[in-house]
Structure 1
Amino acid sequence: MSGPQPLPRVSAIPPYVPGKPPVARAGLTTYKLSSNENPYPPLPGVIEAAHAAVAEMNRYPDMGSAALYAELAARLGCPEEELAVATGSVALIFHLLTAFCSEGDEVVHAWRSFEAYPIAVAASGATGVPVPVTTGADGGRHDLDAMAAAVTDRTKVVLLCTPNNPTGPALTHTDVERFLAQVPPHVLVVVDEAYREFVRMADPVDGAALRRRHENVVLFRTFSKAYGLAGLRVGYAVAAPSVVAAVRAVSTPFGVSSIAQAAAIASLRAEDELLERVATLVAERDRMLAGIRAAGWTVPEAQGNFVWFDLGETTGPFTAAAGDAGLSVRPFAGEGVRVTVAEPAATDRLVELLARVSLR
């Protein structure tokens, strides 16, 4: 074939599949439950901060994100040299792997887990080492013993997603500490905490404590989920200064917009009110789980703002049935469906659907 050709690894990158919006249904209110978005709009103070930043969008944003770094450092009790911001935690995954991985290196991660992991691994030139999550009654969990066994002298990074997207269970702090004791200190261990605010369980992961104790731990966090800023794309990493310097070095200049920075700062200052909304969503998650189980369905533990249905070959028919009911869910072909916790009316619609379909 004539003409420029991309690198072979680029052609092999799997596409990222976003959650689709619902199809309009006559006489039926539809709900988007496919993207793990916060259903509540931003708080008024956050909107005002964003509007003020819009007035100066003819100017480049502060490339150093100085005000956001200062706010995060004060809140987390860490120096700014341990922080890196980017356009969502997805960008941080790409930046970290670009900075630390190349051909011949390996990245260990659970699977099924966050869809962007294998994409970022392939883009970096490294080789992904997916380790199956557990199955059965206590399924959807990271198999940390198997992941530790998968670490070799070629491993550069391990990715831990807790709670795990899309299956739902979260790791305990004890789990992660035990795992870190088995991993060589030169291997970076990412603790991806995109849904940390929704966790309600004994012995939850304390990412900040892990980071203080282990130089090879990297935390990824985002404003997209609990803080409701998915449309603005801003996340941050907490890591050793040397790791942060490498991540910043490969980051896109001016990547985080002025609007995103202003909204993130305002959201941090309104954290108490925002976390009240998170508590409301957690209560709705519990109500959803109760309704699912009352309808006779079995699902894994849910510690994020979503629930996983392990459906295998019936994933397609279930997705179609949900669409007919006005619910847009996120299918993973041949594996299952992830359903976001959203408005109470959407929960009611889902439970009604589950009571009349049998695809298990």
Structure 2
Amino acid sequence: MDAVTASEPTPTQVRLRPEIAALPPYRQGRPAPADGFKLSSNENPWPPLEAVRRAVADAAGEVNRYPDATALSLRERLADRYGVGVDEVLVGAGSVSLLAQFILAACAPGDEVVYSWRSFEAYPGLVTVAGATSVQVPNRADHGHDLDAMAEAVTEHTRVIIVCSPNNPTGVPVTAEGFERFMARVPEDRLVLLDEAYAEFVRDEASVVGGSLIGRYPNLVLLRTFSKAYGLAGVRVGYAIGPVPILDAARTTAIPLGVTAVATAGALAALEPANEAELLQRVDALAARRDALRAALVDQGWAVPAAQGNFVWLPTGERTAEVADRLFEAGVVARAFPGDGIRVSVGEEASVDVLLRVLKGLV
């Protein structure tokens, strides 16, 4: 007997929000060849520390139980580190999850979110999902935030402003002086999210340091992650520090039990003094490798902007697809943003020679 198909649903029968249906999903970079280098996701190239691996494995032995929904033990550790109350710390499934929570807490349809562009590619999607509208302020010629233009873009409809330092994917940091001037111009009833996912890699002493701003502004929330410097991208854990009323509002928008016991255990182990010291030595090595890579690329003639994350930015413009394909042919997967440029993560030491060899012929 033939299958009955008349009653099967078709895409046109289900009513979806048109702006969501038109929104491209977040996509990871394509996988690298077995003998190549994946430099598309800003991951830490070192494997987990043995002590962190053991803590994660031990926690995995109890996955039949729900985790502590508030990640209290981790919040207590972070509160002690930053000199704040435990309720001034919010833990989430990575800083991108926290971004979503804050935008949902602050925005309704018709509200606006201001951010620099190009910046973190997840920002537009998070804003659209919340029903709000993106206001994208073009980067300066040096690929950094134009904070004056961002302040001017704030209107009565603005509810959230996102500042990414160092900026992903261009690597340019916001200066402490510039950020203070910016905050002086932003009304105190607008939420400012300082996204510092790559803060541990910053070596520019003029850059803004979110930890030094705690308690100074009633509308400022700092966002950090364990994914990059601490090598825990696969377990998804990040945190926010800010005023309790703002964090409480974000808590109400969270998916319950989003932070797993495995993630909490990994983060706590990474913060143990001996483990953290070893992890930060790795960060130092990556920062030095990044600086050497950028200097070599500049010597080749590439206009690489200031790099303060664990990546460098190649402003390839209309040549983006061509350069990305040539890198892929050589076994290097980078993150291409068509029409703008290519973000290349700082990975294994052996990847540097391959990058420089291929890119030398493409300047």
TM-score normalised by structure 2 residue count: 0.95
Q: How far did 1:171 drift?
A: 0.6
Q: How far did 1:292 drift?
A: 0.9
Q: Does the 8 Å contact 2:194/2:220 carry over to 1?
A: yes
Counterpart residue number, 1:5: 15
Counterpart residue number, 1:272: 277
Counterpart residue number, 1:111: 117
Counterpart residue number, 1:354: 359
SS in 1 for 2:240: strand
| Distance of 1:12 and 1:344 partners within structure 2 | 40
Counterpart residue number, 1:263: 266
| Distance of 1:180 and 1:208 partners within structure 2 | 15
Counterpart residue number, 1:195: 198
Q: Does the 8 Å contact 2:165/2:194 carry over to 1?
A: yes
Counterpart residue number, 1:65: 71
Please list every run of at least 4 consecutive aligned residues from structure 1 whose deviation after the TM superposition is greater than 6 angstroms.
none
Q: Does the 8 Å contact 2:70/2:91 carry over to 1?
A: no
- Residues 163-184 of structure 1: CA distance to partner in whole angstroms, max 9, x if unpaired? 0000110011111110000000
Counterpart residue number, 1:83: 89
Q: 1:9 to 1:2 in 2, by over 3 A?
A: closer
Q: How far did 1:296 drift?
A: 2.1
| Distance of 2:291 and 2:136 partners within structure 1 | 30
User: Which of 135, 139, 161 pairs up with 1:158?
Assistant: 161
| Distance of 1:2 and 1:43 partners within structure 2 | 50
Higher alpha-carbon deviation: 201-210 or 31-40: 201-210
| Distance of 2:266 and 2:33 partners within structure 1 | 30
Q: How far did 1:71 drift?
A: 1.0
- Residues 65-119 of structure 1: CA distance to partner in whole angstroms, max 9, x if unpaired? 1111111111111111111111101111111111110111110000000011010
RMSD: 1.1
Structure 1 gaps of 5+ residues are none
- Residues 264-296 of structure 1: CA distance to partner in whole angstroms, max 9, x if unpaired? 001111222111110000111111112212222
Matches within 5 A, 1:133-282: 133-135=139-141, 139-269=142-272, 270-282=275-287
Q: Does the 8 Å contact 2:32/2:332 carry over to 1?
A: yes
SS in 2 for 1:140: coil
Higher alpha-carbon deviation: 193-202 or 203-212: 203-212
Counterpart residue number, 1:16: 26
* Aligned residue identity for 2:356: V
* Aligned residue identity for 1:307: V
Q: How far did 1:2 drift?
A: 5.4
| Distance of 1:263 and 1:62 partners within structure 2 | 14
| Distance of 1:144 and 1:333 partners within structure 2 | 25
SS in 1 for 2:185: coil
- Is residue 96 from structure 1 mapped to residue 106 from structure 2 by the alignment? no
Counterpart residue number, 1:54: 60
SS in 2 for 1:329: strand
Structure 2 gaps of 5+ residues are 1-10
Q: Does the 8 Å contact 1:224/1:230 carry over to 2?
A: yes
* Aligned residue identity for 1:178: R
Kindly tell me the number of residue pairs found equivalent between the two proteins. 351
TM-score normalised by structure 1 residue count: 0.95
Q: Does the 8 Å contact 1:177/1:210 carry over to 2?
A: no
| Distance of 1:183 and 1:12 partners within structure 2 | 32
SS in 1 for 2:215: helix
Counterpart residue number, 2:41: 35
| Distance of 2:268 and 2:296 partners within structure 1 | 37
SS in 2 for 1:299: coil
SS in 1 for 2:192: strand
- Is residue 341 from structure 1 mapped to residue 346 from structure 2 by the alignment? yes
| Distance of 2:56 and 2:33 partners within structure 1 | 30
SS in 2 for 1:212: coil
* Aligned residue identity for 1:296: G
Counterpart residue number, 1:301: 306
Counterpart residue number, 2:7: none
